[in-house]
Structures are given as structure tokens and as C-alpha cells.
């Protein structure tokens, strides 16, 4: 888990090198560990990622970081034989096609059977990239959402991809099947998302939540369902599922938010990350990767078309 460390430089005695100040504030980190955290893009100064350990702090500078907790030997990430479907790889990044039912990184209930465990086995260099409890991870997908993810293989790529994500420069497109006849056929859901006050394990549209925006358009109209192309402008937890439920058209198969009818053969939410478009974090080359519907979703869709 990560611990937030934040402060504002308020006295001349605090105005020294960033790595030294960080090691002093996060006293469980060595100076070299603090330097690695900075190089890996885990530290912001005045809301901007700072990757130079030698940066001199000035009076009134604001520093914020989410750092790994003191190491627990029992909590170390392990490499494991988890299949990883790599559809693109170079020296800096991976694009992976995640199957449903596999978590992106370790968490409650998933210790050594995640994509990160599999990546550590195949690409051990990812262990030194990004946050120690989720190395290489740039963005995530829900356990039962399939599709495309980017992982960083180098600190430089991790920092640049993180910046692109914050600046909404990575275009993430999903294929979703919603219950009902979605109206209007094309639109935007602009509604803040936060913890559901009546159920803390869920997300909900709440006034106090974080800004969230989802664009959708109808691809195909079925008798009692609508095939949608959905594009995320922001990336809140469960955003598509929460937003489509909020407008009355839940994702088919979503047992957490949906309350939609059961569909034979559909054992998870009908949601697939089908396309990623972004600039390569090092070369700047524009890249687009696509993933077709996996077999379980494709077969459900075909049966519904024939109903």
C-alpha cells in the first residue's frame, strides 16, 4: 500500500534538495530509495511531477508523494506464471490484452495471480518502474472487464504516460452492451463520481465526487439492448458502469450496478476496452491498438442479434 507524504516548505531549513527532504519526511526510506521514488515519477512539486532528485526546494513549494509503506517481507510482489497476452512491445512500453477475471495488480483476494505477477516473470525490469506495489501500471481495468492496457517498462515511459493520462491525451475506447434502447443515441454523461454514501464498496454519482465525463454513441440497436462505443474523458473507478446506470441504461451482466436481466452465457459485465490511441512516450509516434470482442461477449452478442 502507499502512504501519502505531503508538506509545504515553510522555513529556510526545509529548503534543500528534494531527495534529502523526502528521505527526512518519509523516514522509513533511505536516501537512495527516495531518489528512486523521484525518478519514477512518484513525487510532485507544486502539482507537477518532478523527476530530478537534486531539485532545490524553495520557500512555499508544495511537495506531495504517495510512497510505499515500510517494507513487509510477506507483502513483496512475486513473479508468477500468469499468462500475459502482449500485443505490442518495445524497449519502453507494453500493450497487453487483458482477459476478464484477472486483476491488474495485487490486492485483497489476489496476491500472486495478477497481470503484474505475470509481467514480473516475463519482464523483471518492471519491478523498478513506478509504484512498488503496482510496478509499470499506468491505468487499470476492473477484474471482469477485458481489453487493452498500457504498461511502462522504463521510468521515463512511466512518467510520460502518467502525464499523458492526467492531460487526457490517451484515448480509451470501450465496447459496451447496455440494457434497453439508449436515448439519446449519442451523448455525454458529465456527473461527479465518488463513494456511494449508502454502500462504501460501490461508487455512485454524488455531488461531492470527482469530476467525471463519459462520451457514448450507438453502434447497433438490438431488440432490448444497445451496443455502444464509449470513450472515457476521465478515469474514475467503475466510471462507465456508474454513468450508464445513472442514465437508466446499465451495462448488461453488471451485478454490482446494473440490476439488468440475466442473459444466458453472460457471466460478467459486457464491457471491453477495445481501442487505445496515444503518442509513444519516448518517440512521440502516434499509435493505435485495437482488440476484438473476446469469444464470450461475441457469442452473447450474436445470440441477441438472432433473438
**pLDDT confidence tier of residue 48, bands split at 50, 70 and 90:** confident
Q: What Å distances lie between residue 5 and 21, 24, 48, 128, CA to CA?
A: 11, 11, 15, 20
Please write the tens of the pLDDT for every residue from 221-240.
998 999 999 999 998 999 99
Give kind and range of the element (H or E) at residue 235.
none
Same domain, 142 and 95: yes
Active site residue 254: no
Domain residue limits at 35: 2-68
- pTM to 2 decimal places: 0.79
Query: Is there a contact between 191 and 247 (Cβ–Cβ < 8 Å)?
Result: no
Question: 49, 68, 87: which is the final residue of a domain?
Answer: 68
Q: Of these residues, 61, 97, 142, 296, which one is catalytic?
A: 142
Question: 162, 184, 205: which is the final residue of a domain?
Answer: 162
Same domain, 52 and 17: yes
**In terms of DSSP bridges, do strands 271-279 and 286-290 run parallel, antiparallel, or are they unpaired?**
antiparallel
pLDDT score, position 134: 86
Same domain, 85 and 186: no
Amino acid at each position: 500500500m502507499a502512504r501519502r507524504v505531503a508538506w509545504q516548505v515553510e522555513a529556510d531549513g526545509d529548503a534543500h534538495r528534494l531527495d534529502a527532504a523526502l528521505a527526512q519526511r518519509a523516514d522509513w526510506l533511505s536516501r537512495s530509495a527516495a531518489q528512486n521514488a523521484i525518478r519514477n515519477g512518484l513525487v510532485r512539486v507544486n502539482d507537477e511531477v518532478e523527476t530530478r532528485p537534486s531539485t532545490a526546494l524553495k520557500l512555499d513549494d508544495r511537495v506531495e508523494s504517495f510512497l510505499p509503506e515500510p517494507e513487509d517481507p510477506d507483502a513483496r510482489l512475486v513473479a508468477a506464471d500468469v499468462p500475459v497476452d502482449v500485443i505490442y512491445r518495445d524497449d519502453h512500453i507494453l500493450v497487453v490484452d487483458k482477459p476478464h477475471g484477472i486483476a491488474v495488480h495485487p490486492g485483497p483476494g489476489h496476491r500472486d495471480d495478477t497481470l503484474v505477477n505475470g509481467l514480473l516473470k516475463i519482464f523483471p525490469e518492471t519491478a523498478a518502474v513506478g509504484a512498488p506495489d503496482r510496478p509499470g501500471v499506468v491505468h487499470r481495468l476492473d477484474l471482469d472487464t477485458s481489453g487493452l492496457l498500457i504498461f511502462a517498462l522504463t521510468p521515463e515511459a512511466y512518467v510520460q504516460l502518467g502525464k499523458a493520462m492526467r492531460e487526457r491525451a490517451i484515448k480509451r475506447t470501450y465496447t459496451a452492451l447496455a440494457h434497453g434502447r439508449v436515448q439519446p443515441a449519442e451523448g455525454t454523461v458529465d456527473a461527479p463520481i465518488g463513494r456511494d454514501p449508502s454502500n462504501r464498496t460501490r461508487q455512485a454519482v454524488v455531488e461531492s465526487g470527482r469530476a467525471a465525463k463519459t462520451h457514448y454513441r450507438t453502434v447497433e440497436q438490438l431488440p432490448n439492448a444497445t451496443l455502444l462505443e464509449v470513450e472515457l474523458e476521465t478515469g474514475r473507478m467503475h466510471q462507465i458502469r456508474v454513468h450508464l446506470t445513472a442514465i437508466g441504461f446499465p451495462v448488461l451482466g453488471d451485478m454490482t450496478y446494473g440490476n439488468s436481466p440475466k442473459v444466458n452465457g453472460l457471466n460478467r459485465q459486457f464491457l471491453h476496452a477495445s481501442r487505445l490511441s496515444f503518442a509513444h512516450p519516448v518517440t512521440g509516434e502516434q499509435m493505435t491498438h485495437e482488440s476484438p470482442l473476446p469469444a464470450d461477449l461475441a457469442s452473447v452478442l450474436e445470440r441477441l442479434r438472432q433473438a
